[in-house]
Amino acid sequence: MLELLLCSLLTILPDYLYRRYAQGKRLGKEITLYSVWFELRWGIIACLMLTVGLITVIFYNHPSTTNATAFFRTIPILPETNGRVAEVFVGGVSGPVKQGAPIFRLDSSKQEAAAEAARRKIAEVDAALVVAKTDIQAAEGKIQEARSAYQQAIDELETKQEIYRRNPGAVATRDIEKLQVAVEGRQGSIDAATAAKAQAEARLTTLLPAEKASAEAALAQAQVDLDKTVVRAGIDGRVEQFTLRVGDIVNPLMRPAGVLIPEGAGRGRLQAGFGQVEAQVMKVGMAAEATCASKPWTVIPMVVTDVQDFIAAGQIRSGEQLIDPQQVTRPGTILVFLEPLYEGGFDGVTPGSSCIANAYSSNHDLIASGQVGTLKGLALHGVDAVGLVHAMILRIQALLYPIQTLVLGGH
């Protein structure tokens, strides 16, 4: 409507003034309701054509959208395992939390029993280490005993052999053979005692430390499982919709306990979806403005900080059916990220608020570079100037939005 009024000032109004004062035709006489089209047909046609052209130039070079929202991320509050709630640390359904602060605790009797069993196993291994040291001492004693018996058998054998050498009839050959067998037996006892000592040492230095390490790993695993029963905040933020109470069953797949909204989420950044036809116009660094429902009668100066290079409507996932483009019933938009031009400009805008956003093209640098001719430079000046129309429309929308919502909308 604003564009039509502006164009009518350049077309219909001069046509009427010419016919009224130059040709002397009078309103209500020669110019009547029935003769308006015939009398002002050239002005009306020119007005409509100029209006269509002006609207096209404005909306293409200075895009506008009502699909602008201050999105914010939420984190579901979930344990890693199922369980029954034993204690709740957050009072009420909402409240601030700090990073690492406990939110609720599940029943941990099973995990505590596993941890205690691991501790008992470690104590058992420690006791076995003490016993293994005693076994080594006992094995050393048996080795010494076997060596003494071996030496005694050697001495007796040598004595009998010396007597037999001097007087063969004084010692029976059978006695010497028995002593030789006894010496071999004593040597076997030494070998057995040495092997027993080596086994005890291996048990002390290898087996029992490995068993203790396994028990300590089991204790660490049990402690991790025990710690997981206490759900803590991973980041500073605010807990919302927290209706969990003692005795409730929490399932990480089906029943979250609530949501955690990170501190500062949705504050200081606006996401807007512009039409696909404006993909070539949207550039990083463009000046922009926005007005939000949660902060009425305020126009916020902003700047384009990022333009997503993909359209969400075109994404696909591998599945059992082929993709039919006809299934995409709604065309997607170009996602643009806007940030306030001045510090604190986004203060007072509630995260998740719906907004209206305008972006404005600027050809000043191109014109100042001298790379364009005079006519094209004038045209680009005109393109930049008509952005004022969109700025006026945005301010009218900001002015009328509360009235439209509260009065005309019946809210």
- Contacting residues for 12 by C-beta, under 8 A, at least 6 apart: 40, 43, 44, 47
66 or 326, higher pLDDT: 66
- C-alpha distances (whole Å) from 409 to each of 395, 403, 405 are 20, 8, 5
- 75-105+231-261 and 109-225 share one fold: no
Q: What is the pLDDT of residue 171?
A: 61
Q: What is the pLDDT of residue 356?
A: 92
Question: Nearest-CA neighbor of 288 among 359, 196, 190, 232?
Answer: 359
Question: Residue 36 — very low, low, confident or very high, per pLDDT cuts 50/70/90?
Answer: low
% pLDDT > 70, the chain:
89
% pLDDT > 90, the chain:
9
Question: Residue 402 — very low, low, confident or very high, per pLDDT cuts 50/70/90?
Answer: confident
Give Cα 268 distance to the centre of its chain: 18
Q: What is the pLDDT of residue 194?
A: 80
- Kindly report, residue by residue over 269-303, the tens digit of the pLDDT: 899 999 888 888 899 999 999 999 888 899 999 99
User: 109-225 adopts what CATH topology?
Assistant: Helix Hairpins (1.10.287)
Least confident range from 17-31, 275-289, 326-340, 378-392: namely 17-31
- Two structure tokens written together for 250: 């929490």
Dist CA 8 CA 15 (whole Å)? 10
In the sheet with 95-97, reading across from the earlier edge strand, the strands are 75-76, 259-262, 237-240, 95-97
Burial (CB < 10 A; 0-12, 13-18, 19+), residue 206, is exposed
Q: What is the pLDDT of residue 307?
A: 92
Give yes or no for residue 4 having a pLDDT over 90: no
- Contacting residues for 15 by C-beta, under 8 A, at least 6 apart: 40, 42, 43
298, 395 in Cβ contact below 8 A? no
Q: What is the pLDDT of residue 306?
A: 92
Give yes or no for residue 230 having a pLDDT over 80: yes
Which CATH code for domain 64-72+266-314+329-406? Answer: 2.40.30.170
Cα atoms in the 13 Å half-sphere on the side-chain side of 20? 10
Question: Residue 357 — very low, low, confident or very high, per pLDDT cuts 50/70/90?
Answer: very high
Question: Residue 337 — very low, low, confident or very high, per pLDDT cuts 50/70/90?
Answer: very high
Q: What is the pLDDT of residue 340?
A: 92
Question: Nearest-CA neighbor of 287 among 363, 209, 399?
Answer: 363
Give yes or no for residue 28 having a pLDDT over 80: no
In the block, tokens 């439209």 appear at 404
274, 63 in Cβ contact below 8 A? yes
Over the chain, what is the mean pLDDT? Answer: 82
Average confidence (pLDDT) over 321-331: 76
Question: Nearest-CA neighbor of 240 among 265, 253, 252, 257?
Answer: 257
Helix (H, G, I), strand (E, B) or coil at 298: strand
Average confidence (pLDDT) over 156-168: 68
Top mean pLDDT of 187-201, 234-248, 297-311, 323-337 is at 297-311
Dist CA 355 CA 69 (whole Å)? 6
Dist CA 73 CA 94 (whole Å)? 17
Give yes or no for residue 411 having a pLDDT over 60: no
Average confidence (pLDDT) over 167-189: 70
260 or 157, higher pLDDT: 260
> Which residues are 340's β-sheet partners?
302
- 75-105+231-261 has CATH 2.40.50.100 classification: yes
Average confidence (pLDDT) over 161-182: 67
Taking residue 216's Cβ as centre, other Cβ atoms within 10 Å add up to 15
Helix (H, G, I), strand (E, B) or coil at 233: coil
Dist CA 312 CA 331 (whole Å)? 9
Dist CA 334 CA 327 (whole Å)? 20
Give Cα 157 distance to the centre of its chain: 86
Question: Residue 176 — very low, low, confident or very high, per pLDDT cuts 50/70/90?
Answer: low
Taking residue 372's Cβ as centre, other Cβ atoms within 10 Å add up to 15
Average confidence (pLDDT) over 376-404: 85
Domains of the chain, residue spans: 1-61, 64-72+266-314+329-406, 75-105+231-261, 109-225
